Structure 1
Amino acid sequence: MADILIIEDNAELAEVIRDFLQVEGYSVFIAASGEEGLAYLETHPVKLLLLDIMLPELDGFAVCRLAREKFNLPILIMSARHGDDNKIIGLELGADDYLEKPFSVNLLTAKVKAHLRRSYEMNDDKQLLADGDLTINRTSMMVYKSGQQLGMTAKEYELLVLLMSNKGKALRKEWLFQQVWGADSFSEPSTLTVHMNKLRDKIELNPKEPRRIVTVWGVGYKYEGI
C-alpha cells in the first residue's frame, strides 16, 4: 500500500516529489498514466492522490472524475494549465486543491500534510452522525443516503460533518471556509459556494429548494435536517 499515489508522466518531477514526501515519512507510489493510477487505486488503499492534468490518453480531469466516483480521498491537482477556468473544472470534478506548475515542493508538502490532517485526524468520539435517511460513518469516512453510499470529495465530507455536527446553528461562511480550507489556503472563498452546491446536489431531494442545508442570508449556512 502507499499513503500517496502520484499520477504524473514527467518521471523526473514525480521522483523529486516522491523523494521529498518520503523524507516526511510517507510511502509513495508513482503511476505514469491515468489508467495505471486508476488500476492501482482499485487494488490498493491510498490516503491521498496527487494528479497531473496533461497525461497521455486519459487526461487528469477524466481521472479525477472517475476516482471521485469511487473513492473518498483528498485529490490535489498539479497542472501547467493556468487560469480560473481550469481550476473551476478541477474543483467541480471533485478535486480538493489545484496547484499551478511550477510550484514549490515545500508548498506541495505542506498542502499534503494539511489535507491528510484534516481528512484523517478526527478527534471527536462521536463516530456516527445520522439524520433521517442520511448517515455519516466517521470511522470509515463514508456517507450513506437510504443505505446507498454517496461519492463525496474530502471537502464535501468535511463540510457535511461540520454542518450536521452543528444542526440548527447558523454557521458563518468565513468560519466554514477557515475550518475546511484553512486560513493560509490559496483557494478563493467562492470555492465554498461551489462545494456547497455540489453537496446539495447529492443530499437534497430538490437541490433548487434545499431543506437540509439552508442559506442564512448575510451569515452563511445552517443544517436544518428533515
Structure 2
Amino acid sequence: MSKILIVEDEIKLRESIGQFLRSEGLAVIEAADGLTALKKVREEKPDLLLLDIMLPELTGIQICKIVRQEWSTPIIMLTALGSEDHVLDGLEQGADDYIVKPFRMRELVARIRAVLRRHHALPATGNVLAYGELNLDLDAVRLEKSGREIPLTPTEFKLLAMMARQPGRAFTRLQLLEGAIGETFENYERTVDTHIFNLRKKIEAHTGKPQYLQTVFGIGYRFGEKS
C-alpha cells in the first residue's frame, strides 16, 4: 500500500483528499505546514508528497528544494488557478507533476498512480549507455558525468533514457509524455519543456548550445547523436 503525505493547510480540503485517497486503497499521512511536512518526510518516509505551494512556515517550493537534496521521493504540487510561475518554480526544483485547484478527485488519483508507476518502473535492462562524458546505467538507474553522479528525478531519468536509447530521433512532446511519463492531461505537454530545461542545467556544459538534449524546432527534442 503506497503511503501519501498530504501537505495542505486548508483543513476541509486536506480531509477531503485524505478520505478519498483512503477509499482508493492508499495510506495517508497529513501535515498542515512546511516544518511538520519535513518532519514527517524524515520520520514516515512516504512514497509520494502531495504538496500545496502556499503553506505556513515554509512554502511548497522551499520544501520541494529541501526534499530534493536528500530524497528522490515523487512530488505532485497543488496550485491555485493562474499560478503558472509557481508551477514552473516547483518543476524547476524537482517536482514530478502538478495539478491545478479546483480539481476532480479521480483526476488527482490518476495523477498519483501515474507518478508512482513511473517511479517504481524505471528502466532496468542491464545496459549502460555512454555518450561523451555521460554514462547512463539503466539497470542501476544512475547517471554519471565525468565519473560524478548526477541526481535525477524519476521523470527526468525516464525522459533522458527514452531519448538516449534512440540518439538522433526527433520526439514530439506528446511522444515523450506518452512514452516516458505514460499519461497525458489537458495543457500537460508544456511540462516537458521544464523537465528538459532542468536536465540541461544538470548535464550540458552550455545550456544555450546543448550537446545532448537538442531542440527540434516545430517538433520537440532529440538526443544528440554520438560524435
Using the TM superposition, give the Cα deviation of residue 199 of structure 1 relative to its aligned residue in structure 2, in angstroms.
0.6
The offset of 1:142, in angstroms, is 4.1
Root-mean-square deviation (Å): 2.7
1:27 corresponds to: 27
User: Does the residue aligned with 2:47 lie in a helix, a strand or coil?
Assistant: strand
Deviation at 1:76, TM superposition (A): 0.8
Q: Distance in 1 between matches of 2:93 and 2:151?
A: 12
Superimposed CA distance per residue, residues 163-186 of structure 1 (whole angstroms, 9 cap, x where no aligned partner): 122234333333113324556313
Amino acid at match of 1:161: A
Give the gaps of 5 or more residues in structure 2. Answer: none
Contact 1:97/1:187 (8 A) holds in 2: no
Contact 1:77 1:95 in 2 (8 A): yes
Percent identity between matched residues is: 36
Amino acid aligned to 2:115: H
What SS is found at the alignment partner of 1:46?
coil
In the TM superposition, what are the counterparts of 1:154-173 in structure 2 within 5 Å? 154-173=154-173
Which residue of 1 is the match for residue 125 of structure 2? 126
Q: Could you say if the C-alpha distance between residues 62 and 166 of structure 1 is closer, same or farther in structure 2, counting changes exceeding 3 Å?
A: same
Number of the residue aligned with 1:107: 107
CA contact (8 A) 1:71 1:151 kept: no
Structure 1 residue 203 displacement after superposition: 0.8
TM-score, normalising length: structure 2: 0.83
Task: Go from structure 1 to structure 2 and tell me whether the alpha carbon gap of 1:129 and 1:34 turns closer, same or farther (over 3 Å shift).
Answer: farther
Partner of 2:61: 61
SS at match of 1:221: strand
Q: Any idea what the Cα deviations from partners look like across 1:121-165, whole Å, max 9, x if unmatched?
A: 34x541453325434455564433344443323322221121122
Aligned length: 225
Taking structure 1 as the reference length, the TM-score comes to 0.83
CA contact 2:162–2:180 (8 Å) conserved in 1: no
Secondary structure of 1:49's match? strand
172-181 or 46-55, which deviates more: 172-181
